[in-house]
Amino acid sequence: MLRASMTIDPAFRVSPVHRRTFGSFVEHMGRCVYTGIYEPDHPAADADGFRTDVADLVRELGVTTVRYPGGNFVSGYRWEDGVGPKDQRPVRRELAWHSTETNRFGLDEFAAWTRKMGIEPMMALNLGTRGLQEAIDLLEYANHPGGTAWSDRRIANGSPDPHGIRMWCLGNEMDGPWQIGHKTAREYGRLAAEVARAMRMSDPGLELVACGSSGPQMPTFGAWEAEVLEETYDHVDYISLHSYYEERDGDLASFLASGAEMDAFIESVVATADAVRAKLGATKRIQLSFDEWNVWYQSRFHAEEPRSDWPVAPRVIEDRYHAADAVVVGGLLISLLRHSDRVTAASLAQLVNVIAPIMTEPGGPAWRQTTFHPFALTAANAAGTVLRVEPNSPVRETARYGPVPVVDAVATHDPDNGEAAVFLVNRATDEPVTVEVDLRGLRADRVASCLTLHDDDAYAANTRENPDRVVPRENKDVRLEDGRLSAVLPPVSWTVLKLALPRA
């Protein structure tokens, strides 16, 4: 059996746990909105048309922020289409995902849903087909109390209180040639800086996110971030990161090591942002918003034949996730927490139906995909301060990432509540690993719980008929004695250890 060890010490602090780490993403794409969070004719719909069965799962998932309305969709979106009387809203062709947008759900509905859910809204602006004037009009509509043309229109539309949106994304993936209104880094940076300056004239307390690269594989990666930040550094707070992961060619070992690529991506963007800071002689540090991340089988999506019709809410990239996918999602959450000193916001893309932890059927049930569980348990158990953990682990060679540790881990410590949590992943495809954890620095006196997500079939999935096929289960191979813990982690598994501590 493989063996690994690590020490958890409260002195090894990274940063506070940021609740925005546990954000998600709702785009007008496929069935994320329509028959996802919003289905007025569903038996479980409330008076506003929101599915209450989905709402219950979103609360259980622990989502704190939601980015809206895109995504690629936003680069061709006229936000005015989605406000006012629903029977007067225009129906339009939606070019990004080749569908028909009814606009029955828009900004006011989204704001009402986030209020009901206790979720912070995060708004993306169209800097593809639109620009400065439309952005400041939208800000006035959303956030100004009243007494102006756009704010009074919001009030007349049934939203007397401002929506109070604090975090705004200045466009989406503008480096991508697929993007409506694709721009060069310099073109985009100039536009983003202009919009940011004007928005701050309205409200200097806004938090603004400049578009980074669509992924580390982009040929302009690195140069794009540098040029954009040279234009926007004084005007923005964040640079965005997007990345998706999938198993390719049956290479499960590399897929399980996806967190290693996420680590490298984050560290490269940090280095680039800090180089621009030095070049400009700036004092502040740019934070990172990893506002699209997930497992997404893009190779399947790109292999599909393009549609010739324009359907409403078609079934688009409804990936069905298996046990190994959930282990990877758990490992990616470890990477995000580990970099909490700079990654202070993140969005799992997306929330419902579209590469999502929650699935629904129109008029039917909602259920949890396998990936639901590591996200929900991390959101529920990560509290206080993130602690750096450096496992002493066996290393396995992978085809895509080279040598990668079998065990990855991070911990959080909340002395005020007398709790700590350790999040672990076993990336080995065929061997369990015994992990020994030195907890004497925490003075842990008992294991409150140890839940492991694993299935003997790494490709087992949850379905409508069997929604609990893959769920976290109590791991009984755990011992704690004299501050030293020993746990056996099965292959292809993700684990959360909850520890009880003496209160501070």
The residues that are catalytic are: 173, 292
What CA–CA distance (Å, rounded) separates 130 from 75? 8
Answer whether 20's CB lies under 8 Å from 65's CB: yes
What CA–CA distance (Å, rounded) separates 477 from 313? 46
Answer whether 454's CB lies under 8 Å from 477's CB: no
* 2-7 and 238-245 strand pairing: unpaired
What CA–CA distance (Å, rounded) separates 343 from 321? 26
What CA–CA distance (Å, rounded) separates 463 from 484? 39
What CA–CA distance (Å, rounded) separates 272 from 222? 7
Give 322's DSSP letter: B
* φ, ψ of residue 55 in degrees (nearest 5): -60, -40
DSSP for 449-497 reads: EEEEE--SSTT-B--SS-TTSS--EE---EEEETTEEEEEE-SSEEEEE
What is each CA distance from 283 to 223, 233, 235, 275, 279, in whole angstroms?
Answer: 22, 10, 13, 12, 11
- Comparing CA positions, the residue from 315, 337, 329 lying closest to residue 368 is 329
Answer whether 254's CB lies under 8 Å from 399's CB: yes
Beta bridge mates, 108 = none
What CA–CA distance (Å, rounded) separates 286 from 410? 23
* φ, ψ of residue 322 in degrees (nearest 5): -110, -175
Q: What angle do CA 65, 121, 125 make, to 5 degrees?
A: 120
Answer whether 8's CB lies under 8 Å from 435's CB: no
Strand ranges, E, within 62-101: 65-68, 92-94, 99-101
Answer whether 318's CB lies under 8 Å from 328's CB: no
Answer whether 357's CB lies under 8 Å from 61's CB: yes
Q: How far apart are the first and last CA of the chain?
A: 38
- Following CA atoms 16, 63, 125, 224 in sequence, which dihedral angle do they give, to the nearest 10 degrees? 50
Q: Which two tokens stand for residue 298?
A: 């893009």
**Count of beta carbons in the 10 Å neighbourhood of residue 455:** 21
